[in-house]
Amino acid sequence: MRADIKIKVCMGPSGIATGGADVIEAFKNEINSIGKKAIIEERCSLHQVGCLGFCAKDVLVEVVVDGKKTIYEYVKPGMVSRIVKEHILEGNPVTEWIAGEEYYNFHKKQIKVVLSNCGEIDPEDINAYLAVGGYEAARMALTLMSPEEIVEVVKSSNLRGRGGAGFPTGLKWDLSLKIKSDVKYVICNGDEGDPGAFMDRSVMEGDPHSVIEGMIICAKAIGSHQGYIYVRAEYPLAVKRLQIAINQCYEAGLLGENILGTGFDFDLKIYQGAGAFVCGEATALMRSIEGKRGMPTPKLWRSAEKGLWEKPTVLNNVETFANIPRIILKGADWYSSLGTERSGGTKVFALTGKMKNAGLIEVPLGITLREIIYDIGGGIENGRAFKAVQTGGPSGGCIPAELLDIEVDYESLALVGSIMGSGGMVVLDETDCMVDIAKFFLEFTQAESCGKCIPCRVGTKRMLEILNRITVGNAKEGDIELLEELGQDIKVTSLCGLGLTAPNPVLSTIRYFRNEYEAHIKDKKCPAAVCKDLITFSILEEFCNGCGACKRACPADAIIGKRKKIHKIDPEPCIKCGTCFDVCKFNAIMKM
């Protein structure tokens, strides 16, 4: 038999952004060009796949010859003809373009459950999903299992909600199952509000069928016949691929009336969000689907009883649903054994910031932060020193170097003042100012506060004002204590999760980096040289060779000096934009 060849091109978010479509086009043209077409066509197939994970090296292309995988990194259309000629036609991989050791280290400690199909199968092809056992779990759930049995499996898998709060999924379903009602809803939360995270996006775009299958199983478990997937407005490709997947399901009899001939009905619709962070909160999301302003409602009733249109509703995160088919197929014991005693399974993280190897990763719960950052992520870029890792986005906190050996699970992250969150993990280095980071998140939550409750609406504004005056050098003695007091009050009196967690970035940075706050307040200095009003730029004479690059780049004409002579910065017109610092190749610009 002749060799079977598969070419897979990453068309995840960053694969597309770096020109994945052009690479696919180039492969198509190359294969179709006379002569080659006849030789390869019927044994070679070309696939677009979801995120392959190692986004820092996109476009990634995987060439599989008789099951033997080769990964090429940084692929450009111009490289395609050599790959086709040497690797595919002649059988000799182009060694200098193959992903190196880093790629394998990046994957060594990962366990892919939710992401097992991402980067493997074509997300727009239901047959590709069926070929890897897709909808087998739904078939089992619909034909062989009672609702109670499904709930029992999910319960004992120890799966906890991946949207942030970590509520046990089985328990949530159980509550809903026990409520009697003709109409119940299943909602998938694909709002992904954390600014700096793309886990759910990658799952929706890379393996949309797994989310739909999870929802069908949930519908059967609680007795619901209508589901919604709420997708963030900024994710048009996720909407497109989910819609394709839903259409394919209707055609294949996996959605609609009498699914798989079992007599069970379930309809599924996509609802596009309109861009408001608070709409990721469960009750606000339901108001938004109802067409109203997305304001949270106090949880006098659990959504299990009164959710969407006041009907019993189960709402889960994208990743939570994507876990379900795997749990049903492989069993609760297998899943729970992957994690820790308190939280089963794996978690997807978007590892970003000052990382050498940024990307999308999936790790077993209980792994340490150090393993994630150094073994998988390859450490800090540009040889700088690690300072902190931010988890949980605007609701989370910053974890300093001395705590890198804690195990990642819901409880231990909460214990150190952060949260697990939905999976954003932003790594900060010595050049990041912790007060600036706290201010960044508070600006975000303050702007996104829906305004319904006073502690959140007014409290976050007051906190932001204090942070602003700290970063411009106008702070007063006692401002740190005031921030702490306000933060504690907001944390206990706000209406919804947005306000209840908004002070976390501030409180956690005060807890671990108090001296940085003090330097801003007492010495009017920003130790990391970030806060504009507290730093000055100057030129180090011994390094300046008068090349003039800074002078040409300066937008404020603040740099003086003749060619080949030492240059100077005039502090008066200088707007502290940092352009000179970026363009100087001789490290002659100093900011302090």
| Amino acid found at 450 | C
* Single residue of 72, 97, 235, 264 touching another protein by CB under 8 A: 235
- The helix or strand, by DSSP H or E, that contains position 240, with its residue range, turns out to be helix 236-251
- The helix or strand, by DSSP H or E, that contains position 6, with its residue range, turns out to be strand 5-10
> With CB under 8 A as the contact rule, which of the stretches 61-69, 116-124, 148-156, 424-432 interacts with another protein?
424-432
> Could you say which residues in the range 1-40 bind another protein, by CB under 8 A?
13-14, 16-18
Work out whether 310 is an interface residue with another protein (CB under 8 A).
no
The whole-angstrom separation of Cα 419 and Cα 409 is 9
Beta carbon of residue 321, minimum distance to ligand FMN (angstroms, whole number): 8
Beta carbon of residue 584, minimum distance to another protein (angstroms, whole number): 13
**Residues 59 and 10: beta-carbon distance below 8 Å:** yes
Written in H, E and C, the secondary structure of 341-394 is CCCCCEEEEEEEECECCCEEEEEECCCEHHHHHHHHCCCEHHHCCEEEEEECHH
Work out whether 413 is an interface residue with ligand FMN (CB under 6 A).
no
Work out whether 509 is an interface residue with another protein (CB under 8 A).
no
- The helix or strand, by DSSP H or E, that contains position 47, with its residue range, turns out to be strand 44-49
Work out whether 206 is an interface residue with another protein (CB under 8 A).
no
From another protein, ligand FMN, none, interface partner of 316 (C-beta below 5 to 8 A by class): ligand FMN
* Single residue of 93, 206, 344, 393 touching another protein by CB under 8 A: 393
> With CB under 8 A as the contact rule, which of the stretches 210-218, 227-235, 248-256, 330-338 interacts with another protein?
227-235
- From residue 422 to residue 461, what is the string marking binding to ligand FMN with x (rule CB under 6 A)? x---------------------------------------
Work out whether 161 is an interface residue with ligand FMN (CB under 6 A).
yes
User: What three-state secondary structure class fits 286?
Assistant: helix
Work out whether 432 is an interface residue with another protein (CB under 8 A).
yes
Q: Which two tokens stand for residue 210?
A: 């797994």
User: What three-state secondary structure class fits 566?
Assistant: coil
**Residues 187 and 227: beta-carbon distance below 8 Å:** yes
**Residues 438 and 506: beta-carbon distance below 8 Å:** yes
Please spell the DSSP secondary structure of 126-149, one letter per residue: HHHHHHTTTTHHHHHHHHT--HHH
Hunting for tokens 């939710």 — which residue is that? Answer: 114
The whole-angstrom separation of Cα 244 and Cα 126 is 9
- The helix or strand, by DSSP H or E, that contains position 15, with its residue range, turns out to be helix 13-17
* Single residue of 3, 111, 583, 590 touching another protein by CB under 8 A: 583
User: What three-state secondary structure class fits 119?
Assistant: coil
> With CB under 6 A as the contact rule, which of the stretches 109-117, 162-170, 398-406, 564-572 interacts with ligand FMN?
162-170
* Single residue of 62, 73, 122, 192 touching ligand FMN by CB under 6 A: 192
The whole-angstrom separation of Cα 45 and Cα 351 is 32
Question: Between residues 196 and 473, which has the closer beta carbon with respect to another protein?
Answer: 196
Beta carbon of residue 167, minimum distance to ligand FMN (angstroms, whole number): 5
From ligand FMN, another protein, none, interface partner of 275 (C-beta below 5 to 8 A by class): another protein
From another protein, ligand FMN, none, interface partner of 312 (C-beta below 5 to 8 A by class): none
Task: Kindly calculate the radius of gyration of the chain based on its CA atoms and give it in whole angstroms.
Answer: 26
Strand partners, 186: 227, 314
Question: Between residues 318 and 528, which has the closer beta carbon with respect to ligand FMN?
Answer: 318
> Could you say which residues in the range 481-500 bind ligand FMN, by CB under 6 A?
496-498
Phi/psi for 103 (5° steps) reads: -65, -40
List residues near another protein by CB under 8 A: 13-14, 16-18, 55-56, 58, 193-198, 201-202, 233-235, 272-277, 288, 290-294, 350, 352-354, 358-360, 390, 393, 424, 426, 428, 432, 437, 440-441, 444, 450, 553, 555, 577-579, 582-583
List residues near ligand FMN by CB under 6 A: 161-165, 167, 189, 191-193, 277-278, 280-282, 315-317, 320, 422, 496-498
